[in-house]
Amino acid sequence: MNLQNDEATSRSIFAWNYFLWEVRLALVAIGFFLYLGIFCFSHFLSSCLSITYRSLPTKEKVFWNLATTRGVFGIQCFVAGFWALLLDPVFQADKVYSQQDWSWFSCLIASGFFLLENVAVHVSNFVFKTFDLFVVVHHFLAFGGFLGLITNIKSGHYIPLMGMLLEMSTPFTCMSWMLLKAGRANTFFWKASQWIMIHMFHCRMMLTYHIWWVCLSNWNAVMENLGLLHFTVVLTGLSAVTFILNPYWTYKKTLQLSSPVDWNFSGRTMKNGSSVKVNGEIFQKKGL
């Protein structure tokens, strides 16, 4: 195995001229359609293999596929964010101005995902006549933060990568929700997944404190690097996650461990491994 050749190949995968608008926009579009493809593939695969999925209402099928897409995105975010946090020497040396080819690539693909999320949320709200303020605000601020990165080519990537690392909980959120819908809330596997997810939410809270430390200890440099508007959007999003969203979601997920309720669709709850409607109509326990 030739490590030098492998390293050169790795560099070539990410070696684009990111100063060109067409390159940045093309990678955002790739991210959008890549995760849209995962959404569609989830629908196809689940329709073929999952009894639970076929029995769900259309609204919950859409959420199922969004959960799958978010879970896959969470894996990308964990790898990129963990690498920047602990392993990449460039980001260890400079947390304000540093950029890497791989971080450009990852952040632009993530921008495409957040664009898809905003489209999906608003279309879903329009079609199903629903509105979740927390979700709408979360996705709007997330895309706003990455939009500033797209338009400002001198923007450092460490803070956006830490924002991506906040998605570390999404694979476990996806897994727990699907098991809940399948009537497996009384199994050790669901409880273990729920415990890990709750732990990931606590890690998210610690990570937000780290991001605050980076911003506060480099306040003038971060403001100069991001620009006032982008800096305001980033701080607004960070404040919302730190003081509202993370504590609220951590509380809800912890409560869900002892009371396995699908908070996203409150018309259904889980009892003794079976799906039960509030009006008393019982759905028997289903296989995956």
Q: How far apart are CA 129 and CA 138, in angstroms?
A: 19
Q: How far apart are CA 192 and CA 197, in angstroms?
A: 9
pTM: 0.85
Q: Side chain identity at 21, as an amino acid letter?
A: W
Could you report the per-residue pLDDT of 89-105, keeping only the tens digit for each? 999 999 999 999 999 99
**Segment 185-206 mean pLDDT:** 91
**Segment 48-57 mean pLDDT:** 89
Confidence of residue 284 (pLDDT cuts 50, 70, 90): very low
Report pLDDT for 134.
73
- Do 68 and 42 form a contact (C-beta atoms < 8 A)? yes
